[in-house]
Amino acid sequence: MAISVCVVGGAGYIGSHMVKLLAIKGCKVTTLDNLSTGYRDAVLAGDFIQGDLSDTVFLDNFFSEHAFDAIMHFASFIQVGESLQQPEKYYQNNVVNTLNLLNSMCKHNVKRIIFSSTAATFGEPKYTPIDETHPQTPINPYGRSKLMIEQILSDYDQAYGLKSVCLRYFNAAGADPEGQLGERHDPETHLIPLVLQTASGRRQEIKVFGQDYDTPDGTCIRDYIHVCDLCDAHWLALEYLFKTSSSQSFNLGNGSGFSVKEVIDTAKLVTQKEIKAVYTSRRKGDPAVLVADSTSARTILKWNPKITNIESIVEHAWKWERFISAMPIQGS
């Protein structure tokens, strides 16, 4: 009998890639999304139900009508800058709405969840690469909202037997190698799609914040992990929950970083386009280096990222950018 999985936020960037993988794995997949930032046409398989985690009556009916073996939760607001300006929005959606989801799960005896967390729970790195024992001292509401859910999940495990795996992403990047899916954030804040939008002519320039960091070329270094490798980690985390019935947290990254300048130079090679970069002052709260130590995920989950070179990551994202830039302009 096929595993039944509900992907909350399955119309978004990572969630839509996960829906595709789950279908390939033979799961019965249901996407739950309010389409506030996701796209209905990004859900390539399974059932789709539009609904909002803020609506507890809807959630109660939803779980009464559908039986799930596990939940994968991707539905969060993710912009660090916006979270500083509008913390209420982030605590309401990322914390309160997630709490609604967890309470409905417990009420209806759904006892497994994979939670999308973030490297932002660590705050300013005290050392790199960052492993799971690194202190979690987030410096913005986005990171705090994710850490709060990690802590709540720990409490819910102890009290209610709700088993969870928290996966802390570093920099999700790339796109479906077959060109069916990719990033469509509005507004876009991630470096690689911004660089490629400049290459395709959708943007005039890419801003580089700071060139005087203590790195080889003076620009920030980040750990970019391909979205398909992230999805593989979610699948392995699901298998882990079924095998062990124990909760765990893992950091997900390639373990090596690429600088902003390296990403731009790679994009120039891949696209064969000139990309105008405008160097400006540092942004507050941008660490020089953010790189993951994913030893735990590699050892316990047997996770092995497959698309680790920056050229392939950019190539897949460029394939998607060429497709999406040729589409008629749509609202989000």
DSSP for 8-32, written as a single string: ETTTSHHHHHHHHHHHHTT-EEEEE
Please state the domain extents for the chain.
4-173+226-252, 191-222+255-325
CB atoms within 10 A of CB 165: 27
CA–CA dist 255, 223 (Å, integer): 7
What confidence category does residue 307 fall into, taking pLDDT thresholds of 50, 70 and 90?
A: very high
CB 48 within 8 A of CB 33: yes
Burial class (CB in 10 A: 0-12, 13-18, 19+), 277: middle
C-alpha distances in Å from residue 230, one per residue of 77, 268, 326: 18, 25, 27
pLDDT tier, 329 (very low <50, low <70, confident <90, very high otherwise): low
φ, ψ (nearest 5 deg) of residue 321: -60, -40
Query: Which token pair is 209?
Result: 């914040």
Confidence of residue 137 (pLDDT cuts 50, 70, 90): very high
Q: For residues 235-250, give the mean pLDDT.
A: 97
Q: What is the pLDDT of residue 284?
A: 80
Per residue in 36-82, pLDDT (tens digit) is 999 999 999 999 999 999 999 999 999 999 999 999 999 999 999 89
**pLDDT tier for residue 332 given thresholds of 50, 70 and 90:** very low
Residue 328 pLDDT > 80, yes or no?
no
d(CA 252, CA 296) in angstroms, rounded, equals 9
Phi, psi of 99 (to 5 degrees): -60, -40
Is residue 94 scored above 80 in pLDDT? yes
How far apart are alpha carbons 318 and 124 in whole angstroms?
Answer: 31
pLDDT at position 302 over 90: yes
* Long-range own/partner contacts, residues 34-42 (CB < 8 A, 24 or more apart): 34/75, 35/11, 37/12, 37/77, 37/185, 37/186, 37/332, 38/9, 38/10, 38/11, 38/12, 39/11, 39/184, 40/11, 42/11, 42/12, 42/16, 42/181, 42/184
Q: Classify domain 191-222+255-325 at the CATH class level.
A: alpha beta
| Mean pLDDT calculated for residue range 105-123 | 97
* AA identity, residue 52: D
Tell me what the mean pLDDT of segment 289-304 comes to: 97
pLDDT above 50 for 331: no
The one catalytic residue among 13, 90, 142, 213: 142
Q: Tokens 């005087």 correspond to what residue?
A: 212
142: annotated active-site residue: yes
> What's the whole-number mean pLDDT along residues 194-220?
96
CATH of domain 4-173+226-252: 3.40.50.720
Residues 89-96 have a mean pLDDT of 98
The string of DSSP letters for 263-310 reads HHHHHHHHHT----EEEEPPPTT--SEE-B--HHHHHHS----S--SH
pTM: 0.96
- Helix or strand or coil: residue 224? strand
Average of per-residue pLDDT across 132-136: 98
Q: What tokens were used for 189?
A: 């804040």
The SS3 of residue 258 is: strand
Average pLDDT of 26-34?
Answer: 98
Residue 330 has pLDDT above 60, yes or no: no
pLDDT digit string (tens) for 261-272?
Answer: 999 999 999 999
* Average confidence score pLDDT of the chain: 95
